Amino acid sequence: MSERLVELAKRRGFFFPASSAYGGTAGFYTYGPQGAALKRNLLESWREQFLTKEGHMEIDAPTVMPESVFEASGHLDTFDDMIVECPACEASHRADHLVEDATDIADAEGMSMSAVEETIAEHDIRCPDCGESLAGVEVSAFNLMFGTNIGPGSSSPGYLRPETAQGIFVEFSQLKEYARNQLPFGVGQIGRAYRNEISPRRSIVRVREFTQAELEHFIDPETDEPPLSRVEEVAVPLYSASAQAGDGETETMTIGAAAETGVVDDWIAYYLGVAAEWYERVGVDMDRFRYRQHQPEELSHYSSDCWDAEVEVDGNWIELTGFSYRGSYDLSKHDEYADEEFTLFRQYDEPITVERPTVDPDMSVLGPEYGSEAAAIAEELQRLATGNPDAFEGDTVTVSVDGEDRSIPVDVTGFAVEEVTESGEHITPHVVEPSFGIDRLIYTVLEHAYREDEVDGEPRTALGLRPGVAPTTVGVFPLMAKDGLADRAQEIVRRLRSEGYTVSYDDSGAIGRRYRRQDEIGTPYCVTVDYESLEDDTVTVRERDSTAQERVAVDELHTHLRSRMTNRQ
């Protein structure tokens, strides 16, 4: 299937390798006219469902960000894949993929590097390029981010973003103002992301430049609850971590039952329900779909729980979307590293009186005694008073500065417990994130729509795309390009385009051949203008999947098409 689909995609202008005139570079693809239109329709559908209908904001952040952003987020230290280099031909391969291809292990990504090395040796896995044994070759970590320099020289290093999420998190201090400092609120972003994949493969499924559609939903974990009633009856196939560990199977449950029994966190469950209905609407075959929970060793450094929307394509399960509970990780890290506050003030219903430990260090003592360390000691004393006030019960209190312990007399710290009245508190919101890979969705929609059948005794290849996402909605043909038929067909083309349809005009070749061309790009309806049209102003409307035809008055064409397209969304 993959070879036939990729051939059709190139021939009909959906997608093809980029820069092929210069030999091409693996992992980069150009979307042709049909693919760009399909992508645009899918993105508009996503925007309508996950932003407009949910009442969320949208931003458009830069794709290049300074190194400090990714130091804070943890990507510099943890955004790695496992690489193994062939000692003979020097080709680099993603080690966990080699293991998955050569063994029955389905998810080697969750294994340690030493375990992958042992598995390669045990199965005598060889280099796919030259056949050299990779047993005993070191497996190492390879950071996936593309590095760059911002401005002349190398004094301001930066990176192409590996996800669109950080562009939202770093702007939280501004975005909360637009939300009037009220939780919950969501911020979405659609844009390009970049990962320097070791071995891009399987067409647009794994690439180095791709499009993401991500939503970061900021919530108060103590007070905010999702509107589960909207999706509680939606049934979804769930493949939990416990089922995977025990060789269990996928279990279909309603969203309401999954949340009530604790199988899925309430907020993640809500978005699983919303997404499942949307996937079906855009053309994902739900008989080849499941939600799979990450096992503990798979979880990203920022995630406490994650469920992947997975689909079966070309006989394999691939990830479409990650639904992650990121907690307060991202905002807390940026609050620690950045110059702005990444918290939000939660107003109490009524002011409360609390005991608050404080310190007021005597700097006239600390300064002469500790010199340049005095300010850092004062900061550590305040942190200790807040987190462990019992430490001040003795005569001295110990703090650590630059790895060295310092013993400070308590009477110098100015430690006291005061009663204060507070009207609220600063909290760090938690984040629920649905993160969609659009390129994989495009491949899935095409693969699930691909079909080969027979029409009038002849083989046919068709894409059964949903009308709402199909690149072209209507094909218009004159039966003959003469006797006024072409002029009348062009009038209908202009009229349909003014009514919002994407229309293709074709007057070349036999009518059956023209139908086949439209079937291959997934056009749901074709309109043929014939000699009868000149007499009674009717046309033949042909439906792609059934190939059924009916006569429709031109004045009723818009209503006819809109009704049928709505019923097939």
* Domains of the chain, CATH where assigned: 2-79+144-329+432-438 (3.30.930.10), 80-142 (3.30.40.230), 347-424 (no CATH), 472-567 (3.40.50.800)
User: According to the model, what pLDDT value does residue 353 have?
Assistant: 84
User: According to the model, what pLDDT value does residue 157 have?
Assistant: 95
Q: How far is it, in rounded angstroms, from Cα 245 to Cα 242?
A: 5
User: According to the model, what pLDDT value does residue 204 have?
Assistant: 95
User: According to the model, what pLDDT value does residue 420 have?
Assistant: 84
User: According to the model, what pLDDT value does residue 154 have?
Assistant: 80
Angle, CA 247 vertex, CA 242 and CA 252 arms, to 5° = 65
To the question of pTM greater than 0.95 for the whole model, the response is no
Q: How far is it, in rounded angstroms, from Cα 446 to Cα 441?
A: 9
Token duo for residue 253: 């449950």
Q: How far is it, in rounded angstroms, from Cα 333 to Cα 73?
A: 6
User: According to the model, what pLDDT value does residue 245 have?
Assistant: 86
User: According to the model, what pLDDT value does residue 569 have?
Assistant: 57
Q: How far is it, in rounded angstroms, from Cα 349 to Cα 262?
A: 30
Cross-strand partners of 431:
218, 327
Q: What is the DSSP string of 199-224?
A: S-BTGGGB-SEEEEEEEEEEE-TTT-
Q: How far is it, in rounded angstroms, from Cα 58 to Cα 148?
A: 27
Cross-strand partners of 308:
292, 322
Ranges under pLDDT 70 in the chain: 1, 568-569
- Is residue 415 within 8 A of residue 358, CB to CB? The reply is yes
